[in-house]
Structure 1
Amino acid sequence: MGGGVDLIRKSPWISIVNTGGCNGCAIECLPLITPKYDVERFGVILKPSTRHADLLLVTGPTNEKTKHILERIYDQVPKDKKVIAIGNCAITGCIFKKSYNVKQTVDEVVPVDMYIPGCPPRPEAIIHGIVKLLGEMDKNKKTKG
């Protein structure tokens, strides 16, 4: 099969964290586990628990309340964690940028390893970003080990 499938030796666990917004990006993450998109064919497993996640998919801008929740979730994830900011709201604040409630973008709260723009991004774009980041992680493991 080649490509992303050969790069993955371990099944990375992914958890979705929604920090606010219109929920459009969070909704676009749900089809990833349906037969049409089937992200599990790349060895990825979607998990509701962030305590065991290798990769966090974060959607939406952050406010004072969700900022602290995101920081706590990030700290609970085991080492070697990666974060993907999904959608324009997570990346720039988008339509919520000037809102009284929105304080920061995701990368102002936690380190972000990959950005997937869109309002909302298509599931194919999200899968492409996940596979690309996993490929980079595997390449880094090979050079270290």
Structure 2
Amino acid sequence: MSAVVEYLKAPVHDLFAWARISSMWPVTFGLACCAVEMMHVAAARYDLERYGIFFRPTPRQSDAMIIAGTLTNKMAPALRKVWDQMAEPRYSVSMGSCANGGGYYHFSYHVVRGADQIIPVDVYVPGCPPTAEALLYGVYMLQKKIKRNPYRKEIMEQDFNQPGKLYRAEKELSVSDNLKLLKQQE
């Protein structure tokens, strides 16, 4: 009996994978200049809608989030709130140097050094700002990841699943700490 059940589960698994990758609905979290490239990829030349990707205005209708731009300490709680409102399984794409690790503003006191300190990130798209082709490739990589595991069975760290919790580096850097780090790099 278990062999028959396994045989029937395989096509269902493939159907769910196909449905998830063919109808990805990301919510946009545009914070800076990378958001312009995100708008560019939705325009006529690249047209994400051909791939079944429709930007949604609300996180409750979305299953992915594209974080584009510099994430500040004041914006981090809003990012976490939007992330908590999304239904499971949910995915995220960090777009640009600032969202990936702080970018040019890495040593600034008000910048979060990567969106992965606030929410789990599935795909990183490098660049300052990344091109529309790079974002398309990042979305393609996310689709490949979803196809491998459409149910999101790999559970992230348990802490990431606690709603409303912010994730920070162990020590916040002060202005004097940032100046010391800059002098060490010279």
Is 1:67 the counterpart of 2:76? The answer is yes
Q: Percent identity?
A: 31
Whole-angstrom distance in 2 between the partners of 1:55 and 1:28: 17
Tell me the CA shift for residue 65 of structure 1.
1.4
> Aligned residues, how many?
134
**SS of alignment partner, residue 15 of structure 1:** strand
Stretches of structure 1 lacking an aligned partner (at least 5 in a row): 1-6
Tell me the CA shift for residue 8 of structure 1.
4.1
Partner of 2:85: 76
Stretches of structure 2 lacking an aligned partner (at least 5 in a row): 1-16, 154-186
Measured against aligned partners, the alpha-carbon deviations of 1:64-115 in whole angstroms (never above 9, x if no partner) come to 2111001101100111100000000001101111122213320011000000
TM-score (normalised: structure 2): 0.67
Which of these residues, 91, 110, 118, is aligned with residue 101 of structure 1?
110
Which structure ranks higher in relative contact order (CA pairs < 8 Å, sequence separation ≥ 6)?
Answer: 1
**SS of alignment partner, residue 63 of structure 1:** coil
Name the Cα RMSD after superposition.
1.7
Counterparts of 1:22-37 in structure 2, within 5 Å, are 23-37=32-46
Structure 1 segments, 4+ long, off by >2 Å, are 7-10, 60-64
TM-score (normalised: structure 1): 0.85
In our comparison, the structure showing a higher alpha carbon Rg is 2
